[in-house]
Chains A and B, each alone.
Chain A
């Protein structure tokens, strides 16, 4: 009926995604082997270091997804089984979610410190010998994986909790009437019914870990291959070693690996949408007492694990530096000193302005592009657009980084706010299409039909009837877009050279994530050394604060958005 107008809904989004997503992607593939002989790939496969990096990527990604999903599952069962205080414990469960990867990694470098770090101190309390977490090649990748697990548990927890909460109340009551204990209820009823959520949690954490540049980049001070994963190698080869073809070959290989899991995720998502009738049969039976005890033990340990780094960050940010470098480490608040935090905040001003402008404009552009496009998915049957969106969303930033750099360079936009504003929606538009399309689908069609009968045209019906009705979805998407943009590291790192110069037209586009990396004690060429933990923690806190405030302010919206899309900012 409205063929033309239906196309207009998604046209802007698809033009944008083609120009800034598919084109860079194609450029990456082309420049990975410009002569067409695939020599860069052969070189990569012959290199022992590259093979080590690929193996590391596997350990990092599967270690993260496996452990984070199991721990997230346990936490979700714990919170789901609570009668009271559900919200408070949920908040503990997603605490690390509010700390961007960059800030997490920074804080963990101090936790892992071989002399003054609390990690070794805890080991010594348990009577274990000290470990050089970030220095010893054989364990470096596992140290990085622990940090990655720490930041991935919340996403797994939230997705699985949403699945468990969606078990109808009557089913739960029936199981209670039947005399099922907690162990039986979860193993034989709730988990089988939430199978798709658990699978989604695993796949999402896996895909994010495969593409994670930020954590290995910051933790990997010595630029050693034993801690590198593929996204890091991509950056290192292209932007550090100037080996463009080899770096892009690594990017293409990474893309292929992620595509496999993206494909599975898309299938699972379709099943989640249609509601699979197939149920997983779990045949093991755990006695209720052991089940309860195990859940509680793991929950307590996980909460300690999840809360401590945040506590440690706040502790360090607000105390004089002299208290940081003592053995054993001081783990309680002894004094309260805001001077470092304030001086760091002042120092961060140009970075914060840049990030705020880029994130806010990205948020608006994202809504303008994604809201109508998602409507096309939900109401005009443009399912291919959803598949494309999910696929683009799962691809790591390393898949696009060279192409995006190339385009920005050609447009003479390097080190300019425009570079960030042009490229950031590449990350936010896809997940917004995904999330919003689910919001639209949950809206009864009769509203639009009533509008049609009343005489609204397709566009008027969209912005006067539909948009107001999905306001919660728009708010959630806007918030997530903002948070997501606020977190980005690889793109601003590559596309910028200096902080904002307070000039007009504005030049300089280092973001607050880049600012925080300046205090990375492990980073190459960092002269700051040991005396800046308070600054490091302060910059981490500055980086995290807007996200924490936004999350607390709009918890309900965000959780709903997360469940419907399944994203990690």
Chain B
């Protein structure tokens, strides 16, 4: 086990930012923590980094308790949301900074920096200042600065949020590849659930300081433990509706459902599990949103409105009356 977090709690002005969190991150794993803003995910990361002191609980990095260690002694690398590159130092000096602080000479450090910079594709900008390079390059410099000292754990705080949407895709893949190449245990914090699903080996969903669920992206997506996780993960967002069980059918939808007759229950339906043009459900298309490769249709049935994903080959218009079926795998039940 590379990182172990035990009964960790931190309050700010009486508010639990992190509330009794337990986590185990395996060696070499890319572990994402995702949650809405204010969920405590960044605080969790900062506690691991040692930038905040916990009120309670313990943190172990490769079996060593680091509770009382300074950030620099914890053997971590960290990339900040705004990268925090020293604007008055060149790229070379920025990357070498953790080595220089430990007494290395710039000439000695230079070889290591150049080698690492080549791997990150930034070997040509070493004598520039951070203000003179692009956002994507700044991020690579920040990555290089945190990797140069070969940390045991790599901490990334919303590393993609300062990048343009187009660059974000390539940067995401780059981080993933880098992480795999270095085999480095990584804790990755983001508010973007699709980013977490795409990049992580395993992930945790956080809300109000509490870990709601831990698992692989597939597990989280397919078997969300509760309504919060189900609603937070997935895009377009999950449909959450009330249905009434009548004769083994979830009225007003045509889904077979076992349960107490005549009781109203809450279910979730993934928008991508609604298949238009089949089945016995009937609805009116009330709105259409075109998104390139697919479209989102809003289906009105009784007083319920469902989001459904259409392939771009489906030809429907607003006002059309359509049939649809629901793939049972995409139906989620909540207690």
Which residues of A come within 8 Å of B, CB atoms? 1, 444, 446-447, 449-450, 452-456, 460, 465, 468-469
Contacts and interface: CB of A to CB of B under 8 A. Distances in A.
Contact of B78 (A447, A453, A460): A453
A455 B88 contact: no
Contacts of B145: 450, 454
A453 B49 contact: yes
B82 A446 contact: yes
B80 A454 contact: no
Given A455-B72, A456-B101, A449 B86 contact: no
B98 A446 contact: no
A487 B87 CA distance: 36
B84 interface: yes
B329 interface: no
A446 B81 contact: yes
B84 A455 contact: no
A446 B72 contact: no
A452 B76 CA distance: 11
Given A453-B49, A453-B76, A444 B70 contact: no
Contacts of A469: 86-88
B101 A449 contact: no
A468 B145 CA distance: 19
A455 B98 CA distance: 6
B266 to A, nearest CB: 38
Contacts of A452: 50-51, 70-72
B98 A449 contact: no
A334 to B, nearest CB: 53
A4 to B, nearest CB: 14
Contacts of A456: 72, 101
A450 B88 contact: no
The 4 closest A-B pairs by CB, nearest first: A455-B72, A446-B84, A450-B84, A455-B101
Contacts of B86: 447, 450, 465, 468-469
Contacts of A468: 86, 88
Given A449-B51, A468-B86, 8 more contacts: A446-B82, A447-B84, A449-B71, A450-B80, A453-B98, A455-B72, A456-B101, A460-B101
Contacts of B53: 1
Contacts of B70: 1, 452
A490 to B, nearest CB: 41
Nearest to A454: B98
A457 to B, nearest CB: 9
Interface string B264-307: 00000000000000000000000000000000000000000000
Nearest to B89: A468
12 contacts: A1-B53, A444-B82, A446-B81, A446-B84, A449-B51, A453-B72, A454-B97, A454-B101, A454-B145, A455-B101, A465-B86, A469-B86
B80 A449 contact: yes
Contacts of A449: 49, 51, 71, 78, 80, 84
A454 B87 contact: no
Given A452-B51, A455-B98, A469-B87, A446 B71 contact: no
Contacts of B84: 444, 446-447, 449-450
A454 B50 CA distance: 12
Interface string B76-104: 11101110111110000000011001100
B275 to A, nearest CB: 45
Contacts of A453: 49, 51, 71-72, 76-78, 98, 146
A446 B80 contact: yes
A289 B49 CA distance: 61
A469 B101 CA distance: 18
A450 B78 contact: yes
Interface in B45-88: 49-51, 53, 70-72, 76-78, 80-82, 84-88
Contacts of A446: 80-82, 84
B106 to A, nearest CB: 14
A317 to B, nearest CB: 43
B102 A455 contact: yes
Interface string B30-50: 000000000000000000011
B133 to A, nearest CB: 17
Nearest to B73: A455
Nearest to A455: B72
Nearest to B74: A453
A1 B53 CA distance: 9
Nearest to B98: A454
Contacts of B98: 453-455
B117 to A, nearest CB: 17
Nearest to B100: A454
A460 to B, nearest CB: 7
A456 B145 CA distance: 14
A106 B98 CA distance: 59
B81 to A, nearest CB: 7
A373 to B, nearest CB: 23
A447 B101 CA distance: 15
Contacts of B87: 469
Interface string B100-113: 01100000000000
A450 B98 CA distance: 10
A456 B76 CA distance: 14
Contacts of A1: 53, 70
Contacts of A447: 84, 86
A450 B46 CA distance: 11
Nearest to B148: A454
A468 B129 CA distance: 14
A361 to B, nearest CB: 27
B143 to A, nearest CB: 13
A248 B98 CA distance: 58
A95 B49 CA distance: 52
A454 B81 contact: no
Nearest to A449: B51
A452 B73 CA distance: 10
B46 to A, nearest CB: 8
Contacts of B78: 449-450, 453
Nearest to A448: B84
Contacts of B88: 468-469
Interface string B130-151: 0000000000000001100000
A379 to B, nearest CB: 13
A280 B76 CA distance: 50
A332 B266 CA distance: 89
A446 to B, nearest CB: 4
A445 to B, nearest CB: 9
B48 to A, nearest CB: 11
Nearest to B46: A449
Contacts of B102: 455
A454 B80 CA distance: 12
Contacts of A444: 82, 84
A449 B79 CA distance: 10
